Structure formats: structure tokens, C-alpha cells
Structure 1
């Protein structure tokens, strides 16, 4: 995402403006003061638009493209915003992932086959898309942190190491839900979290939540550690028990607790 901060969390945003369907990009962003953003150590979050040796193995994206595309109907901002997502660097340091600019997102959509001439798109639409993209990523990271809280004594500062979009590779849970009559997610990401030296894979399914709220959130996220080892399975069992227990207590008290 930015020249100095980086935490791409490809989020394939299901278009809410003019039927746009932009491709996956980077993670979430937190609007802080200019001074706060400048104090963060940032790391580049490039946008996927090529193949070959220039691909970044941490986000599967090539170098950022900030150049206007041919016949682009209007100029787009190239400013990028720093996310709140810490990035685990190979040397052990921590930087922050940076979100793509509107120009980068536009170029990414074109690479995915979208043609702006087929849509009545306006500059405001691109601004909304970026806000939705960033909000969804921030929301996903907060859900990851809820799971990581189970290991707070073991590691108090988990960081996002890498991620990848798997929109067409439905998770087993998503498929089972679809067999029961529920909709399939419109996107899926796998995030690799560095838990103080231990890599933990998280699966994130993105479902259409309907109306866009004033925080530019519309997706319903199903975030959980992948069933890669016994520890992840145990975490999921503990959370399932806690949800059942608190719902049971809530029902006895006449109030049902929400998850």
C-alpha cells in the first residue's frame, strides 16, 4: 500500500456503486492524525498487475502502478493511507501495511478485465470503493485479534506476515453452509499471522451484509483459524463452547447475547 508502511490484505470488494466489482487488493486502514501516521513505520503494499520475478511473495502482488491508464476519464488520487495492521518483516522488525491508492485500485480493476466504458462511473465511486476496501480489512484484523487474545500471554503483539485472495476456492465451511441453503461468500482470504515466531493461518469468508453503513462496512465476516493443527482446532472448540455458554446464560436471564 504505501511507500513507507505496508499491510496488504487483499479484500475483493463486492461493488456497491454502479455495479462495479473491483478485484482483491490490500488490508484495512485507520484514519489517524497526520502526525500519528507519520510516526508509523510503513511498508510498501503493491498492487497486483504482473507476473514474473517481481511478484512480492508476501501479498502476491507486483510493484505498485500509480500511472493513469490510457483513456482514463478523470484523474485519480495517488495518496495512500497507512493501516493499523502491523506487518512481520523478515528481519524481525515491525512496519505497517499501506492501502492502495484510488489510481492503483483502478489499474488493478482493469487488469482483472473490468472496462470502465461499460459503467457510468464517477470519481465519487472510486472514493467509496477504497473506503469500503479499507474498512473491510480493518474489520477483518479486529476479528483476528479476538482469536489472538486467546494467546495473549504467549504473544502480545501478533503481526500479519502475508495474505492471499482465494475468491473461487470456497472453504469447507462455506460449502457446507451453501448445502444448507445459505449464500456463498463473495470473497475469501487466507492470512498468515506471525504469533511471535509461530505462523498461524486464518481463513476469512466475506458475505454480503446488505446495506452500507456510515463506517463504509457492509460485509459480514467469518474469521477463524484454519484447521491446520490441534492448537487451532482446540481454539475453535473453546470459542464454540464460550458462545454456547453465554447464549445459554443469556436465555436464562431473559436476554440473548449476540456474538
Structure 2
């Protein structure tokens, strides 16, 4: 498909098995029925067309679209991403089903009749989507390791897509000749009572690997606090020092 639908269900599913953009935002917000991993995340009660403030998504829609060409599964996968609950309990975000994702794409203007889409495409889209989010959380945890003594169990509080709002770093990179990211998310992480905003830029990573990882992620704390700025400076120094020492060690091996 040549059509990219941005925000909650944006995706390019042309040749999805070999080269495609994962969906930039997911409605990971409703409890899955009959799950083996418990407890899982369930947002506050919603009515009508209410928008969930935690992920800016409408209520989950598991009903087939009127003209849908084939049935889609409604099963949902529990993520490994813990969710910050008001009562301090531990629950996990839940990924959308294939049916939910189909409905979300339709809601954003996508029309399946214009494309050659098959059930296998939707299966791959969900796998790519879920792998992207798992990868993003692992990157967040690397930053949060700097505060392990302060908080040993950070949790994701909320998230939102900002596909059309490029981060300053992405804009600067584009001025230097690099490609712009195809999507951006802002995640709010609860660091044991402290809200920390992370920016995630998604870049085209080329071919999909056997783990359904497609995008190259640039994950870092937003420069909206002194603490976040200090974390980024520390990591920049550590990376520079590691690369410098690594190059010196390699040169020593070659000359001996």
C-alpha cells in the first residue's frame, strides 16, 4: 500500500513481509479477556466517544467493519511493559488485536479496497507493532538504570503519538542531510512517583528481521528538566569514552 495513515494507526503495509513501516501508535489500554498473565492494565471506565487520556485513544472496537473482506482475530497480547496505576499495583499494558488495529486504520482514513491486503499482512503488522514497543521499553530501561538506586521499578504511565511534530534533534539531523523519522512518540514514565518524559524517534530500518524488528529507535529523556539534561550529558560522555578507549585498544592490538 502506498498510503500511510499517521497517528494512532499509521502504517505502510506494502510488502509487509519484507519492508514496511510499523504502526506508530497503539491502543494498549483495555484488559484482555481470559489472559494467562495477570493482572493486566485496564483504564478508567469510558463512555461513548470518550478519549482515553493515557494514550489519546477512543474505546476499543472489536467489532468487524461492515465491508471487511475477512475475519480478524480479537485476541490481545499482554506486553512486558508495567503500567503505573494510581493505587500502586502492578499491571501491564495490553497490545491491540488485529481487529482493533484494522478499525483504527479505517478511523484514520485508510481504505482497504485501494490495497491488496491479506490476513497474513495484518498478522505481521501486529507482530512488528508489538516488537517495536518492546524494543522501546528496553531502551527506556537502559536510561532508567541510571536511577536504579532511586527507583528499581519504573513504569509507563501514558504515551502519545506526535508523528508530525519533529523533535529538535530530528530536525537538526535533517538539516545535516539525514532522513527524518517516520514517527515520534512521547512516553511518560513513572519513576516511583516522579514523571519523566521520553522522546522516541522512529527511523526506517530497512528489512524486517526474524524478530519482527523493523525500526531504528532513538530513545532519550526529553530536555525539559535539569536532571534529564544531566543524564544525557553523562551518557554522551560514557559513549565518547567507550568509543575512544575502544579505538585505542584496537590500535594497540594492531601495532603489537
TM-score interval, normalised by the smaller of the two chains: 0.7 to 0.9
1:75 aligns with 2:75: no
**Cα distance in 2, alignment partners of residues 125 and 39 from structure 1:** 27
Counterpart mapping for 1:25-174 below 5 A: 25-26=26-27, 38-44=36-42, 52=49, 54-174=50-170
Task: Show the counterpart of 2:254.
Answer: none
**Cα distance in 2, alignment partners of residues 43 and 117 from structure 1:** 34
Shift of 1:39: 3.8
1:237–1:13 Cα change, 3 Å: farther
Paired residues of 1:85 and 1:159 also in contact (CA < 8 A)? yes
1:214 aligns with 2:232: no
Task: Show the counterpart of 1:183.
Answer: 179
Task: Show the counterpart of 1:24.
Answer: 25
4+ aligned runs moved over 4 Å, structure 1: 10-14, 18-23
Paired residues of 2:155 and 2:190 also in contact (CA < 8 A)? yes
**Cα distance in 2, alignment partners of residues 71 and 174 from structure 1:** 39
Shift of 1:45: 7.0
Deviations 1:66-106 (A, max 9, x none): 00001100000000000000000122222100000000000
Question: TM-score, length-normalised on structure 1?
Answer: 0.85
Question: TM-score, length-normalised on structure 2?
Answer: 0.86
**Cα distance in 2, alignment partners of residues 92 and 11 from structure 1:** 30
Unmatched tracts of structure 1, length 5 or more: 1-9, 28-34
Unmatched tracts of structure 2, length 5 or more: 1-7, 29-33, 252-256
**Cα distance in 1, alignment partners of residues 140 and 10 from structure 2:** 18
Paired residues of 1:167 and 1:186 also in contact (CA < 8 A)? yes
Task: Show the counterpart of 1:3.
Answer: none
- Larger Rg over CA atoms: 2
- 2:250 alignment partner, SS class: coil
**Cα distance in 1, alignment partners of residues 222 and 24 from structure 2:** 24
Task: Show the counterpart of 1:238.
Answer: 234
Shift of 1:64: 0.5
1:107–1:71 Cα change, 3 Å: same
RMSD value over aligned CA atoms?
2.3
